[in-house]
Amino acid sequence: MRVPLSWLNDYVDIKDIPVQDLANRLTLAGMEVEAIETIGYSGAELPWNPQLITTAEVLAVGPHPDADRLVLVEVDYGGPEHEIAVTGAPSLYALKGQSDLHLKVAFAWEGAMLYDGHAEGFVLRKLKATKVRGVLSRAMVCSQKELGLADVHGDIIYLPDDTPVGVPLTEILGDHILHFEIKGPFGHLQCVYGIAREVAALFGRPLKRTPLEAVTRLGLTTVEQPDAVELEIPDSDLCPRYTATMIRGVHIGPSPLWMQLRLQRAGMRPINNIVDITNYVMLELGQPLHAFDYAQIRPRAAGAKPAIIVRRALPGEQMATLDGELRTFDAEMCLITDGGGPVGVGGVMGGLDSEVKATTEDILLEAANFFFLNIRRTTQLLKISSEAGNRFGKRVDSELALIAGARAAELMQELAGGFVDPIAGDLYPGKPAPFAVSYRPDMADPILGVSVPADEQRRILTALEFAVRDADDGTWQVLVPSYRLDVRHPVDLVEEIGRIYGYDRFPHTLIDEPLPPLRHNVPLEEEERVRDWLVGLGLDEIISYSLIDPADEVRLTPSGMTLALPGEVITLRNSLSPERSQMRRTLLPAMLRTARNNLRFLERVALFEVGRVHYRLATPDPDTAETGVAEPRRLALLLAGPRQGRWFEPTDRSALDYFDLKGIVEAFLERLALLDKVQWERGAHSSFHPGRCARVTIEGREIGYLGELHPLVCEAFDLPVQPVVALERDLEVLLDAARVAEGGKHVGMISPYPPVHEDLALIVDAGTPALDVQRTILQAGSPLVTRALLFDIYQGPQVGEGKKSLAFALTYQSPGKALDEKDVEKLRLRIIKVVEKQLGAKVRRA
């Protein structure tokens, strides 16, 4: 919302308040000034030099001796002599030959900086004295465009007749415009007068009531059924009040300059005097108005007077609105209808047919009130945005309707030559009772933490037009002004007191109370530890979008297999795009996309993400707070690219593979004390290479899959042809297990006795998992075999077809004594016996 200070000053005297101070004070009090726009004064886009750009009076227009299309104007600029200037302005040209004129204009002298009236856009130029066809012209009469007041080059500006001559133009047309960002549904702040009220309260200044008193000035009285129109509100829940004022015999034409400038500065385009007046009063008082062409309003029956009926729409009823759209209504929408059908969407937009036209003579002026929630429902469902709908949607005081209607009627009488019917219609079925809040001045301190004296509280409330009445028991009955629809509770009054008193005066304190019972957030602490470990293992953390493309789930299952994703997918009802239309059930698609995007610039990526996936499990139940949606945490890792970066000596440039990722995973599992508890088995997962995928479980619970991506998945995600290894696991299961493992963890004593090392090579079936062999050795040798490190794998003629040799470096060590050759021999034989029996292994002799 934009408020020109020249306008604001009509209601509260602010001339002596520096603009910046005014803006700061309003900002702190909740009316945030986002920008201050300056017109004419220094700081404006086009400052008007006060010496060179002044007011002046055109006295005569004479012919140019040598140019038919130009004239010479004689101008009184307040100096000792008159100045002659050349102009081609059409309205002055039309006066050629006339003298004894008294036209007040904006006059610029050579040296003044102005916009070029004839150039496209705003082009600065300096006014120079020039000879125009033999006549020296040192000054010019300015148009709006030249002064930066309009974007099209129109006629010159004519100032009001009472404008003094020879004063800087800034004093007449200069201005500051405050651009407000007002948060909240406050109808009462959406107008110049509403801001004026706040300024008056903040600065303790009187507020002029002129714009509210047009009813009195016009001597207007009201009846429910006036002569001109029959009024009926069958659905008064949607329309608590409808007033109709007749203005007869108006002349449609442009509105005066001052009104046009105010509208422009407030951000609206002038249209004609009648429409401008309705807009002007809306901007001034916050009440949307609608002017009907009275001649177009139909009676219910021939011979009857025209009728206005405010009712719910019939389902499927249609009307073309002012914007030219044909609208279809549902049975909850409020229509303004006449004897023949709809003529407007109540409080939102008028109908095309009853619009004011150039030929309109009689105006039926509607000033009504509409129920805000229904207005909002209607504008949202019809997707209509209008000034009226926007304001009514933020609640407008129903008491304002007649006041604003009279104000507009008064202006129409004054500026459009109309005559106001002295009796207006006012049907007010929803008149609210006066509202008072029971309040005690000691309610403020416990909320604010500041003792605002009772007198000061009373002063603030009174300044904001609340009426404070003392009750016997020390409570106050605070009568709320009708326009303060936002104030309903004592705490609302506390806020008023706090913000006017000034938050900048509040001390800064810290909570002075015992701490609540302290708790660990164990899941979060674990999650953060996981992040640290993975960063320590050389991975970069990513955080990706939770909304994904449904096609991505399909891309993960290229080979006709089904991908087992949990629960039921969550899809949006309104999405920005198909690519962001469903909640992820797996972290993999985002991981793959991130890899793809980064591999365009980087040769190697090593990524992890810890984040939630979302899927539906049950029906939501607000009573139990259950959303019915599971949001477990997942962990995904991905590696792609060469194992080592380039260096000036050769490095390992082969592609990262399954074992690189497994190494990271093992190190990570070791951190979680789970390395010796997980089971690795060949996994069948549609996204992974069938021969290079592991399913990882812990005590029978699946925690995830690790593998090289299936080449078709790489293709589907447009990844380069190289092994991309990824892992997705259920972090919840993993962390549960880790918690158990951490609980049962023992520190192994470090033996002071020397270990014995020896190698043992075993020949087993080629398909036997190495991990089984290793674990069997360790079990058989437990507890004295402390390590069995696989250091060689051999397949070939020496071990025979379908066989392989696995060589382990064994470490024997006892915590209680130095092992001798006999002890070791005994252990070795035991191990060999077990592996022979359980795995069909044979010792490979050198």
Q: How far is the CB of 274 from other proteins (least distance, A)?
A: 29
Q: How far is the CB of 377 from other proteins (least distance, A)?
A: 5
Does the bond joining 516 to the residue before it have cis omega, within 30 degrees of 0? no
Q: How far is the CB of 533 from other proteins (least distance, A)?
A: 9
Q: Distance (Å, rounded) from C-alpha 449 to C-alpha 640?
A: 58
Closest CA to 225 of 72, 49, 428, 3: 428
Q: How far is the CB of 41 from other proteins (least distance, A)?
A: 17
Q: Which one, 85 or 637, has the nearer CB to other proteins? A: 637
Q: Which one, 390 or 774, has the nearer CB to other proteins? A: 390
Q: Are 499 and 448 in contact (CB under 8 A)?
A: no
Q: How far is the CB of 645 from other proteins (least distance, A)?
A: 4
Q: How far is the CB of 620 from other proteins (least distance, A)?
A: 5
Tell me which amino acid residue 311 is.
Answer: R
Q: Which one, 129 or 535, has the nearer CB to other proteins? A: 535
Task: Give, as one character, the DSSP assignment of residue 321.
Answer: B
Report the site for other proteins in 228-247 (rule: CB under 8 A).
none
Q: Distance (Å, rounded) from C-alpha 690 to C-alpha 701?
A: 21
| Structural tokens at position 20 | 């910046």
Q: Is 574 in the site for other proteins (CB under 8 A)?
A: yes
* Residue 592-631 contact track with other proteins, rule CB under 8 A, x = bound: --x--xx--xx-xxx-x---x-x----xxxx--x-xxx-x
Q: Which window, 77-85, 407-415, 416-424, 447-455, contacts other proteins (CB under 8 A)?
A: 447-455
Instruction: Assign 722 to helix, strand or coil.
Output: coil
Report the site for other proteins in 36-65 (rule: CB under 8 A).
none
Report the site for other proteins in 176-205 (rule: CB under 8 A).
183-186
| Structural tokens at position 339 | 């004897």
Q: Which window, 6-14, 463-471, 641-649, 796-804, contacts other proteins (CB under 8 A)?
A: 641-649
Which residue of 51, 651, 779, 798 would you call a contact of other proteins, by CB under 8 A? 651
Report the site for other proteins in 368-397 (rule: CB under 8 A).
372-374, 376-377, 380, 393-395
Closest CA to 11 of 277, 220, 213: 213
Which residue of 446, 560, 743, 744 would you call a contact of other proteins, by CB under 8 A? 446
Q: Are 695 and 665 in contact (CB under 8 A)?
A: no
Q: How far is the CB of 193 from other proteins (least distance, A)?
A: 20
In this structure, what are the phi and psi dihedrals at residue 84, rounded to the nearest 5 degrees?
Answer: -105, 125
Closest CA to 334 of 368, 363, 365: 368
Q: Are 643 and 660 in contact (CB under 8 A)?
A: yes
* Distance from chain centroid for Cα 256: 38
Which residue of 438, 559, 644, 779 would you call a contact of other proteins, by CB under 8 A? 644
Distances in Å between the Cα of 27 and the Cα atoms of 22, 32, 195, 199, 286 are 8, 4, 11, 11, 20
Report the site for other proteins in 504-563 (rule: CB under 8 A).
504, 506-521, 523-524, 528, 531, 534-547
Q: How far is the CB of 518 from other proteins (least distance, A)?
A: 7
Report the site for other proteins in 3-32 (rule: CB under 8 A).
27-30, 32
Q: Which one, 476 or 501, has the nearer CB to other proteins? A: 501
Q: Are 791 and 780 in contact (CB under 8 A)?
A: no
Question: How does strand 423-427 pair with strand 221-223?
Answer: parallel
Q: Distance (Å, rounded) from C-alpha 285 to C-alpha 369?
A: 14
Distances in Å between the Cα of 737 and the Cα atoms of 21, 677, 794 are 63, 9, 36
The site that binds other proteins (CB under 8 A) totals a number of residues, namely 104
Q: How far is the CB of 32 from other proteins (least distance, A)?
A: 7
In this structure, what are the phi and psi dihedrals at residue 648, rounded to the nearest 5 degrees?
Answer: -85, -5
Report the site for other proteins in 756-795 (rule: CB under 8 A).
none
Q: Which window, 43-51, 145-153, 500-508, 705-713, contacts other proteins (CB under 8 A)?
A: 500-508
Which residue of 648, 747, 748, 749 would you call a contact of other proteins, by CB under 8 A? 648
Report the site for other proteins in 265-304 (rule: CB under 8 A).
none
Dihedral sign, Cα of residue 447, residue 449, residue 454, residue 456: negative
Q: Which one, 152 or 511, has the nearer CB to other proteins? A: 511
